[in-house]
Structure 1
């Protein structure tokens, strides 16, 4: 059992090979493995991001299937078409089905001649079977247009259930798939749904995605893979001794395992103190006026005005959700693994989380919950990463608001209502309609600017528009890049940020767009902030590498070192291990020409400066007020220097 099994599938040749890696050699999970393969075997940094050598590697941690709860996430690693360097994204519950394939990880290389469907499953004796199947491009497009009354990723899921129903039911397979956004944009997510095997249907609330970084776009454009069905009947759990776990938890926390789980995950299930639960329910109460809205333009408002906007959010956006989900129906589900933390809050059949609903809600000037619900359902069906999509839409609305483009020049039929000073909640529906026009345009590519965003991303686009509309930029005294919010990597790489008003999401770190940083709304000296951000990044690395759900991090982080030591017999210092692997991610970024770059746009810089003033860190607020550019460059450089020195050891 002291090994980590990889199956490398070449979809260009319809072949596969099995290899075993040893834990004692430092391969503790899928990210360790992927870094090693991308750096040393595939050398994917040398090639185009859609090269067949840009392997999509996905795998589980070593602690699945036993007595441990929350250990069943599946982690994907690939070179991102957005950041141009390695990216890590994970999806909940999929490891619970994947583990019975008998594999720990899969690496997909090569490129199928036709859109490819892989069926990966094992027999009870753990013998592995792989079916290489295909679907024509025209049939795939027809399925996306509609199958059994569904569209997009939902339609493809039901197509798979119909076509492979016998396999799925017998071998307990879970689908992993893409949507149209992966075909037509660099912003395609990887989706997965837990399946009810008795009636071959999608289980409520089980939808999840490895969305950030464009992994779905890589899966399709580099490998021509549109769907993977994975599971099986091979049972090889590392251990199932619940008594051992209970004793360990009691020693660490002086509490039972069940009690510590419920205590540390209260936010995600239900907080009786707040009268709500889940990320959507809690964040709007917890962060209130610090919630990013109107494309981060709330940073220019007084706290009084921000609180007024928060009143709109609570009345029109949060309350309808909370009334139904937290008080009346209580439609709460899990990601697909047996877990007492029913974190999936479902409203009229749709899972509701903070990030996607804020992205297509208040962040783009949509404050009516039902309007955002329609947008999220539509964007999900197309298979978009909704966080990135929200940034694109907000930027477009801001560009039109500031007069850099007319609505018709970027595919809009009207002006968005994007001024927080004049906005009223009944403007929500207009912005929802215009957001749909943007989404349609990104897929249809019937506007040259939207086509450029779809093909090359936001950072490339703002640079080209600043050149194409130089006279307007000079006339308006604001540039296209001034209104965009992203972290820059290399010449054109970038990553849009999660919705927190914090320097940590914009700091010079090597994997962002996730929680691999100090993401709390705070401010401090660059060295202190860099230390706290790197510490968090390393812990998040270990969480994703082990397959632990980060909602369980409150107890899981303390347990991981003991699990690796006692169950895997590995004498490895996990923090030193994570630091070494993160330094290899930096090395990959250097080789790929995708190191962090200094902040480019005015709004990004203002996000940093305003939070320093908001938190009342007088030293830095004063520096920024005296000379903003000098102060920001000094802070960024010192943060970056600390990270580089620490990684170089």
Structure 2
């Protein structure tokens, strides 16, 4: 790998060649060499690593993700976040990864091209040309440095306002047509989970990276279709394009379901297993959940499906120009995926699709992680519902309707959407003491502080703030909120969560079997990220990844990545710890009841701890680790 090391303290940079299979392998190694496990995540000496895998620039779509490796202000250990499509243009600079240390005196944007590197002092512009937030900053960079974008066919990765004021800042990248000075429809993506934007902006005062140039694929064989087809025929008995089309059908268009993409497929697929109202739906009888999902399909899913798959047929990709999956479904100019829209929709008590669109847009402008904000909004709403907070204490103008048994979707969705907007804005602007505490500390530490602040109410209500929100626990202060699936694997004692590095199937098993299946998935997902691969392509890529590495790069894939992250987490005192809150535990126990488990009834707290302990012991044993 050719890596660019930027030292912002010295305002200098240098290029080095290193042997590493991919950006995750590189990132873990660099953090271990710097012994960052003992440092605060936002310490400027903690490196921020962003790069691409070895198969970029070829005729196999999907290998064009940018991968960020950083010490997360949420988990307090290493985290990995992925951003679709951007490596297609970033590879032109001839740099496989950027490693940033130190802190710039003023906000800085790093410009990379095939002709060199430049560090420019640029204050982020968040209102510009009728755009706001990260979109405004991207447009400002495009207009101000148009010659660079045109000459090098460049793309930017930027932060939004949230990265400058909260723990929950994302990296935002919107592909552009530099000649026309326009954004490409649907070609926008976010590396959001774990706070990478915050790590970059608060830790290093870097607010953007712009890259492009004339370099092409690092390895010639990635363009050799005879070789690629040979590999596929050996594994699948079919040529590459046929295999890819079959394995990615869910994300493009599934004729059997009459829809496509994560949003289109997940609602009719998961149905009554969808988590609603901040996971309160896990306590509802199945027949009540069915009533809810029928309203969601009518008010939330159908308007999207009719517009995107019947009328406009507006499907695009993320900027990976060779990719025919066109997973980006665009509703009247807004890219629609399941998790951000579910986070601002049914998860917060909003079943009207049109009400969710401006909320997702606001989150994207701010450069926030939508999944985390879904948890924050639902938590604030439920705290008000339970009487732990008054609306005005959270900066809200009214009381949300957050009881699924008395929720009227046509009437109450608009109210909840309006109040969600107040929470989001107040979170970034710290407009109330409660929201300031959450924005500066994250959910886990904030729950402790709010328990102290409202001690009398906690005693009177009989619920802690931590009982009303679902998160997994790392070490003393770290945590991660789960992706929006009712799945025990999303809250199990895995070392990396908030991504799909686990068994995320909505099912239940004994802890030993569940741990083994989750470890297998975690190892596979770590390899996907190290290769810079979009996981929508995992169906065809995983079975041939070993062969591709050996035949193309001459090196085997690094199958020890997950274990290396686990060992780092142990040094960072950020191992998984037992659940702190009631609802997090019940994601496991209610699924056990849903599938009719006879062995695991979770009748007392010891049952929860026993399942958690046996899962983690099996996981650690599978990694060859001892306590």
Residue matched to 1:407: 391
Q: 2:380 aligns with which of 396, 402, 421?
A: 396
1:615 aligns with 2:595: yes
Q: Give the secondary-structure state (helix, strand or coil) at the position aligned to 2:599.
A: helix
Q: 1:592 aligns with which of 544, 548, 572?
A: 572
Q: 1:502 aligns with which of 447, 463, 487?
A: 487
Q: 1:473 aligns with which of 449, 458, 468?
A: 458
Residue matched to 2:22: 29
Cα deviation, residue 262, structure 1? 0.9
Alignment of 1:88-237 (within 5 A): 88-123=80-115, 129-136=116-123, 140=124, 143-144=125-126, 146-237=127-218
Quick one: distance in 1 between partners of 2:91 and 2:208?
18
Q: Is the 8 A contact 1:102 1:236 kept in 2?
A: no
Question: Quick check: 486-495 or 5-14, which moved more?
Answer: 5-14
Question: Quick check: 230-239 or 490-499, which moved more?
Answer: 230-239
Q: 1:641 aligns with which of 607, 617, 624?
A: 617
Q: 1:545 aligns with which of 516, 527, 530?
A: 530
Quick one: distance in 2 between partners of 1:220 and 1:105?
18
Q: 2:47 aligns with which of 55, 63, 72?
A: 55
Quick one: distance in 2 between partners of 1:505 and 1:9?
36
Cα deviation, residue 103, structure 1? 1.2
Quick one: distance in 1 between partners of 2:507 and 2:565?
26
Cα deviation, residue 646, structure 1? 2.0
Quick one: distance in 1 between partners of 2:230 and 2:310?
36
Q: Give the secondary-structure state (helix, strand or coil) at the position aligned to 1:17.
A: strand
1:67 aligns with 2:59: yes
Quick one: distance in 2 between partners of 1:617 and 1:262?
38
Q: Is the 8 A contact 2:61 2:323 kept in 1?
A: yes
Quick one: distance in 2 between partners of 1:11 and 1:368?
47
Question: Quick check: 546-555 or 192-201, which moved more?
Answer: 192-201
1:567-609 deviations in Å (ceiling 9; x for gaps): 1222x3x4xx42x322221221122221111001011111110
Residue matched to 2:2: 5
Q: 1:18 aligns with which of 15, 21, 25?
A: 15
Cα deviation, residue 469, structure 1? 1.9
Q: Is the 8 A contact 2:142 2:178 kept in 1?
A: no
Q: Is the 8 A contact 2:2 2:16 kept in 1?
A: yes
Q: Is the 8 A contact 2:55 2:217 kept in 1?
A: no
Quick one: distance in 2 between partners of 1:13 and 1:285?
55
1:513 aligns with 2:498: yes
Q: Is the 8 A contact 1:169 1:200 kept in 2?
A: no
Could you list the runs of 5+ residues in structure 1 that have no partner in the other structure?
124-128
Residue matched to 1:313: 296
Cα deviation, residue 628, structure 1? 2.6
Quick one: distance in 1 between partners of 2:488 and 2:31?
30
Residue matched to 1:433: 418
1:455-488 deviations in Å (ceiling 9; x for gaps): 1101001111112222211111111110011011
Quick one: distance in 2 between partners of 1:175 and 1:187?
20
Residue matched to 1:126: none
Quick one: distance in 2 between partners of 1:13 and 1:360?
43
Quick one: distance in 2 between partners of 1:606 and 1:643?
21
Could you list the runs of 5+ residues in structure 2 that have no partner in the other structure?
none
Quick one: distance in 2 between partners of 1:155 and 1:646?
47
Quick one: distance in 1 between partners of 2:283 and 2:469?
15
Stretches of 4+ moved more than 3 A in 1?
none
Cα deviation, residue 197, structure 1? 2.4
1:261 aligns with 2:244: yes
Q: Give the secondary-structure state (helix, strand or coil) at the position aligned to 1:381.
A: helix
Quick one: distance in 2 between partners of 1:569 and 1:47?
36
Q: Is the 8 A contact 1:289 1:310 kept in 2?
A: yes
Cα deviation, residue 552, structure 1? 0.6
Quick one: distance in 2 between partners of 1:645 and 1:257?
38
- TM-score normalized with structure 1 length: 0.94
Residue matched to 2:329: 345
Quick one: distance in 2 between partners of 1:231 and 1:628?
58
Cα deviation, residue 618, structure 1? 1.4
Alignment of 1:352-391 (within 5 A): 352-391=336-375
Residue matched to 2:37: 45
Quick one: distance in 2 between partners of 1:195 and 1:35?
32
Residue matched to 2:429: 444
Cα deviation, residue 236, structure 1? 4.0
Cα deviation, residue 288, structure 1? 0.2
Quick one: distance in 2 between partners of 1:526 and 1:216?
35
1:351-394 deviations in Å (ceiling 9; x for gaps): 00000000010000011101000100111111100100110000
Cα deviation, residue 237, structure 1? 3.5
CA RMSD of aligned residues (A): 1.1
Q: 2:544 aligns with which of 555, 559, 562?
A: 559
Cα deviation, residue 43, structure 1? 1.6
Cα deviation, residue 14, structure 1? 2.0
Quick one: distance in 2 between partners of 1:170 and 1:18?
22
Quick one: distance in 2 between partners of 1:87 and 1:315?
37
Quick one: distance in 2 between partners of 1:54 and 1:435?
34
Residue matched to 1:601: 581
Cα deviation, residue 265, structure 1? 0.4
1:245 aligns with 2:228: yes
Residue matched to 2:316: 333
Cα deviation, residue 507, structure 1? 0.7
Q: Is the 8 A contact 1:194 1:336 kept in 2?
A: yes
Quick one: distance in 2 between partners of 1:451 and 1:473?
20
Quick one: distance in 2 between partners of 1:510 and 1:468?
31
Q: Give the secondary-structure state (helix, strand or coil) at the position aligned to 1:556.
A: helix
Q: Is the 8 A contact 1:186 1:454 kept in 2?
A: yes
Instruction: Give the aligned length.
Output: 621
Quick one: distance in 1 between partners of 2:416 and 2:566?
40
1:396-421 deviations in Å (ceiling 9; x for gaps): 00000001111111111111011101
Residue matched to 2:554: 569
